[in-house]
């Protein structure tokens, strides 16, 4: 077993909307030599055509999701758009980590707080968790949201207001990336991963 297998990392990327979380997660899992897989999260929304249970998400009925919340099986969960629930089951994280699998997830600031709160219950989570916050200026953020072209003015204003609140949480994160180009952001993430490995190795 390699040193990396004995000390798997769970990199959790948080930051405002459009700060580049998904872009970084996708790039990290695309580099096979880095050995990262995405955490498979759980949702009550219906699968879209082509989505496979256990691959894209764990799809649960609202009733089963609720049972698992009550049983304490989630590390974090949230209501999204008022009527759907999304979350991360402890088993989706602890089982791969115990096989030595490095993991990455894109979680909101509140989700990171929940993960930290679960650390006393799960020593493996506590050992592997590497929360990273992506910092971005409001000007750059607005530019990226507009360039993405998926949101109307009201939604842009809502997202900017949420981003302001999230920025206030940045100081709780040991690791931060000050977003620049895509390549600079990825290089900064790799540096954080190297640092985290050397602290655990």
Ligand X SMILES: Nc1ncnc2c1ncn2[C@@H]1O[C@H](COP(=O)(O)OP(=O)(O)OP(=O)(O)O)[C@@H](O)[C@H]1O
Nearer to ligand X, 6 or 178 (CB): 178
CA distance 28 to 83: 31
Q: Minimal CB distance to ligand X: which residue?
A: 20
Name the minimum Å distance from CB 158 to ligand X.
Answer: 12
Nearer to ligand X, 150 or 172 (CB): 150
Q: For the purposes of burial, counting CB atoms within 10 Å of the CB of 162, is it exposed (0-12), middle (13-18) or buried (19 or more)?
A: middle
Structure tokens given for 23:
């872009």
Residues contacting residue 119 through CB under 8 Å, at least 6 positions apart: 125, 126, 129
Name the minimum Å distance from CB 92 to ligand X.
Answer: 19
Name the minimum Å distance from CB 104 to ligand X.
Answer: 12
Nearer to ligand X, 94 or 188 (CB): 188
Binding residues vs ligand X (CB under 6 A): 15, 17-23, 106, 144, 148, 179, 181-182, 185
Name the minimum Å distance from CB 159 to ligand X.
Answer: 7
Q: 138-144, long-range: CB within 8 Å, 24+ apart, which pairs?
A: 138/163, 138/164, 140/179, 141/16, 141/17, 141/18, 141/19, 144/18, 144/19, 144/20
Nearer to ligand X, 8 or 111 (CB): 111
Name the minimum Å distance from CB 17 to ligand X.
Answer: 4
The secondary structure of residue 92, as a DSSP letter, is H
Look at strands 58-59 and 175-178 and give their pairing.
unpaired
Nearer to ligand X, 81 or 199 (CB): 81
Look at strands 84-89 and 102-106 and give their pairing.
unpaired
């Amino acid at each position: 077993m390699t040193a990396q297998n004995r000390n798997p990392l769970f990199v959790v990327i948080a930051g405002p909307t459009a700060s580049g979380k998904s872009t970084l997660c996708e790039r990290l899992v695309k580099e096979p030599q880095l050995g990262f897989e995405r955490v498979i999260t759980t949702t009550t929304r219906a699968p879209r055509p082509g989505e496979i249970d256990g691959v894209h998400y764990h799809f649960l009925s609202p009733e089963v999701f609720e049972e698992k919340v009550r049983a304490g099986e989630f590390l974090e969960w949230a209501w999204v758009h008022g009527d759907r629930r999304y979350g991360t089951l402890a088993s989706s994280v602890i089982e791969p980590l115990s096989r030595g699998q490095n993991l990455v997830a894109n979680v909101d600031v509140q989700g990171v707080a929940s993960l930290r709160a679960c650390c006393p219950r799960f020593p493996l989570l506590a050992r592997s968790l590497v929360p990273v916050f992506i910092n971005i200026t409001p000007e750059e953020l607005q530019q990226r949201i507009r360039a993405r072209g998926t949101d109307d003015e009201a939604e842009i204003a809502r997202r900017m207001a949420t981003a302001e609140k999230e920025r206030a949480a940045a100081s709780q994160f040991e690791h931060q990336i000050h977003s620049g180009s895509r390549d600079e952001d990825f290089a900064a993430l790799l540096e954080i991963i190297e640092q985290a490995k050397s602290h655990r190795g």
